[in-house]
Structure 1
């Protein structure tokens, strides 16, 4: 693969093979879209088969495979927008892709160009960060274009739309629609969309082989069998922080949260003089512990007050989905197992396993305490961030009740109370100090008015700073600016 990577040289980042990063990002995308967790690998396999049958070169086939895996890589970035439009961003987008969503209002339709722009810009930036080459990046930047010119974000038409975009669209439609409606009706829907969404000739080629290809897919015994061989050609190691940042984009107020958990868990392990390998494993587990949150709608996470029983049962599955997300990434197997214990408690009141006592060894106890602390000192839509003193008192109460390890809690509190706030970090050379302040607040979901009020400047000044930030970071959406800022070390 060729291209200009946006990833900086990070000496202390947690590097993993690009193959594993792509698989993890694909899993996050499938969770966020309410899809089956093998949807992206199956789509990649179908896109490969269609590309080969259409006479594409081996390089084109490889590009189509990876573009299919990353098709939903921008969907965490616009989840907040889809919550506003559809209410349930997960189920709503699942219905949209299955063509079962009721007609949207004119107001909702008017917001779709923005949703497409956010998704495609972030997906394209991810491809560039991963140094995947122009073909994949271009396809992802035009994910929702249509043959008839009525697509998004650019309204491209006919041959101006990348061939890879058409191939992935067709493979995705076959996979999703056949599961939702059965193969005969799926083929009818695809035929109806032929000449509008994608070229009729390609749609006819797909229909000719669809039954055989789906039968071959169903014969595979594991998801690993579906993963395209092109992944093995992507050799560049990738910072695991990128996967964490993509997962955290799901909720604006989570920006940087997984990095905070990872850094704190590693620091506590070092304070306890644990082996360096344990500290590194805790850092990596902290980065991925939040992946499973993508499976649940934003409205649930934004709700104030106690959750209803049914909603709480869904929350209890978050660490399960985190564990599943990394089961197919060999580089993260141990970390995924550790990360899935982030919400267990010593008295058995945690989730999803409800284990207790000796079943939760030291490193799992450290991660649980780090997650609890970072949640307490972070702002949530229904409450302000707790002060360090308040958070310390709450964490100590949990330890006294037998839910968290008292020695680990004391070590954590002693460490954090002697450290400067992460928000005192110096501005980077890329952005001015004021621009960094503005972007930090924007990244957490604050509106221009909220930022203006907090920084005692006018909303028009905030807009001016945002225009400068977009120009310097070479992006046009807040989600893309947030992702780039964390990746480049600005935040």
Structure 2
């Protein structure tokens, strides 16, 4: 991993907070605001500085695992983004398919992935533990007993209560929010905690409009792989697994062939790893529609780079690369989005990033089409360059890099057998056991046996969690 492929812990947490918010259909600063409320509540309840800091981190990463459950909620609700927004704001009308039995496994998966993210970021154990308990446990049938189990950290209750206040107040007003919160007192959070919050609710909500202090806790500036952010984003759509990594790797090789200096190459690689931020704001049903997208679908898709650019505005540390990433769908002839930039408005970085992403996408399978071979993808890219959509020099650099010698594979992690790795590659792309079995010419029972072994070795309880850990270890 090169130094330009890292990000500080605090900045990674901020990006993942926004990713979680967008995935849930919430305002992009919801988790930031919730974190300030939760930390204030912890302080009011007598917790020390370290506990308040941990509570803040839990609130920021509360929805970080939501990309992992997008497919499940899309199946239950039709629209995973609007549907979950309605669930959180309590505006969802009666939905027969939504039951404790089918929601709790998704909640547990979300907790598992959020906890694993905390581990990957090297956060304190109390943050990880709180994230793993945010939504209770499916091992207990009585919801109230689950929520008040002795091992539930206090930070969980602070974050639940602060999150409800922040999200309900805009929809129902402060008094209405407190009334709805009161209905959950003694069930979702302790009644005594609600009583402690109520006199301060209005003032604390007003405090959120004031600038916040920069985070300053031990390890906040430690650097971690930027690929963690890309991997979490792509859990939303399993067929995207590893896509941003491949774009970044090809962009790096293409940049040198295009004559770019190292100072130009670094932002390009970082932009490639961040460009998917806005994708989480679009429902899975749009991404996986088999036919042509309608006008409403395109309205949502065109906002993808807008949300990526917005991330740079909200998180100054990534502003330059997020802005660059937001040009990834622009085209020389002005036919791209969201700015419809054309010609000289696009520098060589923007041109090369767009060409790289398009080529890697063509070479990757999608729900509506199989992957193109490199020769066919090269022909299509060359034709698009001749038509004026892509820069000819950028396309030539990308194709030359793709034809070049393969990168030396990293040292193999021997945790999994060759057969288990093959199974993992299939299931990480969203294939069912039956589909993986057909592709591998083995029985579905054999696939399930290998999946059980993979889960045991990776200490994972779900496919998204196993995928995230496998990517971090370089297994896939």
Normalising by structure 1, report the TM-score: 0.92
Q: Which consecutive unaligned segments of at least 5 residues does structure 1 have?
A: 1-9
Distance 1:16 1:203 in 2: 37
* CA distances 1:119-143 after superposition (whole Å, capped 9, x unpaired): 0000001111111111111110011
Q: Counterpart of 1:254?
A: 240
Distance 1:240 1:412 in 2: 23
Q: Counterpart of 1:3?
A: none
Q: Counterpart of 1:6?
A: none
Taking a change above 3 Å as real, the CA distance of residues 107 and 52 of structure 1, as seen in their structure-2 partners, is: closer
By how many angstroms is 1:112 displaced?
A: 1.1
SS at match of 1:371: helix
Q: Counterpart of 1:85?
A: 76
Question: Is 2:375 aligned against 1:380?
Answer: no
Distance 2:24 2:96 in 1: 21
Find 1:353's aligned residue among 327, 339, 345.
Answer: 339
Taking a change above 3 Å as real, the CA distance of residues 142 and 13 of structure 1, as seen in their structure-2 partners, is: farther
By how many angstroms is 1:151 displaced?
A: 4.2
Distance 2:431 2:328 in 1: 28
CA-atom RMSD, angstroms?
Answer: 2.1
Distance 1:438 1:454 in 2: 10
Find 1:458's aligned residue among 443, 446, 462.
Answer: 443
After TM superposition, the structure 1 = structure 2 runs for residues 71-150 of structure 1, keeping only pairs within 5 Å, are 71-105=62-96, 108-145=99-136, 150=142
Q: Answer whether contact 2:108 2:136 (CA < 8 A) is retained.
A: no
After TM superposition, the structure 1 = structure 2 runs for residues 236-315 of structure 1, keeping only pairs within 5 Å, are 236-315=222-301
SS at match of 2:286: helix
Distance 1:227 1:94 in 2: 29
* CA distances 1:2-50 after superposition (whole Å, capped 9, x unpaired): xxxxxxxx45671111111000000000100000111001100100111
Q: Answer whether contact 2:76 2:97 (CA < 8 A) is retained.
A: no
Distance 1:143 1:365 in 2: 43
Q: Answer whether contact 1:132 1:234 (CA < 8 A) is retained.
A: no
Q: Counterpart of 1:430?
A: 415
Question: Is 2:160 aligned against 1:169?
Answer: yes
SS at match of 2:208: helix
By how many angstroms is 1:351 displaced?
A: 0.8
Q: Counterpart of 2:53?
A: 62
Distance 1:182 1:263 in 2: 48
* CA distances 1:63-120 after superposition (whole Å, capped 9, x unpaired): 0011000000100011011111110000000010011112332575432122012100
* CA distances 1:348-395 after superposition (whole Å, capped 9, x unpaired): 111111111111011110000011111111111111111111111111
Q: Which consecutive unaligned segments of at least 5 residues does structure 2 have?
A: none
Question: Is 2:357 aligned against 1:371?
Answer: yes
Q: Counterpart of 1:4?
A: none
SS at match of 1:238: strand
Taking a change above 3 Å as real, the CA distance of residues 42 and 226 of structure 1, as seen in their structure-2 partners, is: farther
Choose 64-73 or 331-340, whichever is displaced more. Answer: 331-340
Q: Answer whether contact 1:19 1:232 (CA < 8 A) is retained.
A: no
Q: Answer whether contact 1:426 1:433 (CA < 8 A) is retained.
A: no
SS at match of 1:327: helix
SS at match of 2:13: helix
Find 2:40's aligned residue among 37, 49, 61.
Answer: 49
Find 1:407's aligned residue among 366, 387, 393.
Answer: 393
Q: Counterpart of 2:453?
A: 468
SS at match of 1:78: helix
* CA distances 1:235-292 after superposition (whole Å, capped 9, x unpaired): 3211100011111111111100110111111110011231012112111110001111
Normalising by structure 2, report the TM-score: 0.95
Distance 1:67 1:456 in 2: 44
